[in-house]
Amino acid sequence: MKQFFDSVQGVILAGGKGTRMNQGNPSPIPKALYPLGGKPIVGYILVTLKNIGIKKPILVIGYKADLIKKEMGDSFNYVIQKKRLGTGHAAKLGVLAVKNSYHDVLILQGDDSAFYKGETLKKFIVNHQKQKAILSFLTTEVSDPKEMGRIIRDKNNKVLAIIEKENLTPAFKKIKEINCGAYLINLVWAKNNMAKIKKTLKGGKEYPLPDIVKIALEEGQKTIAYKIPAREWHGINSPSELVEGEKIISSR
């Protein structure tokens, strides 16, 4: 179990305003604190990480940061994202705060990670380390990907690209495999390359984290798209998706 205790640090992104949870307006509480099965959404991934040996991950917070600190106490190491510049920027802040004694950094979304099983994350980490990958990320297949980014693979199942919703052609829209938004990255490489992500989202004002995969692929770094069961990923971006999340949690 040494690899889980000593070589991986977790970074969880939870700085958003949760506007889609509140009819387009900033949410009264951070999305990460919305109750799911009687406890904050972000509390689930905290427990899962603790169970695999990542006891005090880094939580990147911004919007209503004091509320998160008050609720979660000393469960996390905190990093403040003062400006909302996207997930790529938030991840960079978190990565730079990771001590150099770690080998890899596991980057997760604070609202989409409640349903991952510890055993799945263990297998994800083991595969990454055995394959000596620079970057691995989680994918899954869903029946209705909507406008989510798609995973492009070659005939040998090797990942070629993530095509984001803005660039989806009719052919790409037929693909059901999506990016879950969870990344496991060699720490040294991450610290040297996160700053290469460019502003491209929402009028060129935000840094999109999925672009780190593009950077790794362009450099020829070993990059693995690791597929997990669809039941272990559920995005929560609206009240209706929160209700669906409640159903999933109550069925376990």
Q: Domains plus CATH for the chain? A: 2-250 (3.90.550.10)
Residue with tokens 């929560």: 236
pLDDT in tens, 131-156: 999 999 999 999 888 878 899 999 99
pLDDT given at position 219? 97
Residue 124 is predicted with a pLDDT of 97
Residues 90 and 81 sit within 8 Å (Cβ to Cβ): yes
Each residue's pLDDT expressed in tens, for the chain with a length of 252 residues: 445 557 999 999 998 877 777 777 878 889 899 999 889 999 999 999 999 999 899 999 999 999 999 999 999 999 999 988 999 999 999 999 999 999 999 999 988 889 999 999 999 999 999 999 999 999 999 988 887 889 999 999 999 999 887 788 888 889 999 999 999 999 999 999 999 999 886 667 889 999 999 999 999 999 999 999 988 998 888 888 888 888 888 887
Give the contacts of 19 (CB within 8 A, at least 6 positions apart).
25, 26, 27
Question: Rounded to the nearest 10 degrees, what angle do helices 118-130 and 41-51 cross at?
Answer: 60
Residue 200, CA atoms < 13 Å, CB-side half-sphere = 13
